[in-house]
Structure 1
Amino acid sequence: MKRYDRRTFLKLSGASAVMLALAACDDSCASGSTSSGSATETPPSPPIPVIRDGQKILTIFNAELARRKVENIKFEYSKGLEHAIQADVQMFVDNGSPEFPAEEGLRLRMEGDYAAKMWDGLHEAGYSSGSTAIFGMLNQYRVGVDFDYEGKHLYSMDRLYPATEAQFQQLVDELIKDYGGVPGLHEDDPVVNKVGITVVDINDKTYWAAYIIDKWQGIGDG
């Protein structure tokens, strides 16, 4: 992992500092992109490490929300949802590509046990395959994986892992916008989202994907 001097470290956001601290004690973490130059050089947008532990990633997001004093949105880790999204992305990992034509992607998905394992994860999280709320909206709850949603004719992974502080902050902005409640109305009753997230490497690039589901859409606490 890239080393930072005290001056550079203090210029990172609170969440990025947490990411660096977590990565330093996690042997499974790989370092993110690095800039050239000496260790004391301050990059325009500091690189951040790749963290693969879903619970640690949620800790980082929640730390950033707290740093920003955002009170209308919360993220809760769900092991079942993590297992579900891992099953979805495994098809891409096993076949060595982040993108397939829809017909080929459907064939690969049906020939494997990816869909079955996805449902196992959803059941573990407390969701029923008979629930119309879940079955009819899976594509909306799934982030970073597209199974020909809206007729794009592609099965694809389209979310690269944020490699820099600026990209991380942009992602947090997006999550607040897409999954938060209305500021000023939900501080006392924040929108709680159950999250399962995974990070994978395909063809020398790092992608992330997740299920993000409003807690009240299901009965589980997985």
Structure 2
Amino acid sequence: MNKFTYSLAEFTDVKDKKFISNPGCYATATELALIPLLKADVVEEDSIIVDAKSGLTGAGKALSESSHFVNVHDNYVTYKLNRHQHIPEIVQELKLFNDQVHHIQFSTSLLPVNRGIMSTVYVKLKKPLTAANLFAIYEDSYKDTPFVRVQDDLPELHNVIGSNFTDIGFLYNKVTNVLTIVSVIDNLIKGAAGQAVQNLNLMNGWDETEGLLISPNYL
């Protein structure tokens, strides 16, 4: 295991590395939403709440009652509340950018759609910030990254399905001092194979977008 480098592609230098550990799908969407804020030290570290939703392909291909069509169609199910296997992974990575992050509140739900992840994150800020301040924080982290798009509006799943893009938007509530961040990805591409290809490109010094500016939609 010590030979492997965990690589969230936007934040890890993997050039000349031989072995890469690719992030999980929930972890990818959540970490990309939070890392810029933690780098800027604007978040109360013990206030992180994540409400993450996944399409059914996130549950894997094995047959199970919980992912059977008749049980998920026209339904919305929460599962593994605060015990999802991605929680330690997320906390471990967030601590690299702010070592005061010791835990997160993390809920996961199944959406009645084929693919996609929406991670809605709630944090309290250490001091009030304007929308311009917040946008600048995200732009500072992602201005040179081809696959993260910081938006003025809150993102929607259908805009990233079939792509390696992550769309991020946010809204600050001055009354409660809570910032809501919404991060959406395709769990099968940016949350899996696409990020693996992105890391492969970075490892070899190739164009980061090589092979990824297409729109595959087969499940």
* TM-score, structure 2 normalization: 0.26
For the pair shown, which has the larger CA radius of gyration, 1 or 2? 1
* TM-score, structure 1 normalization: 0.25
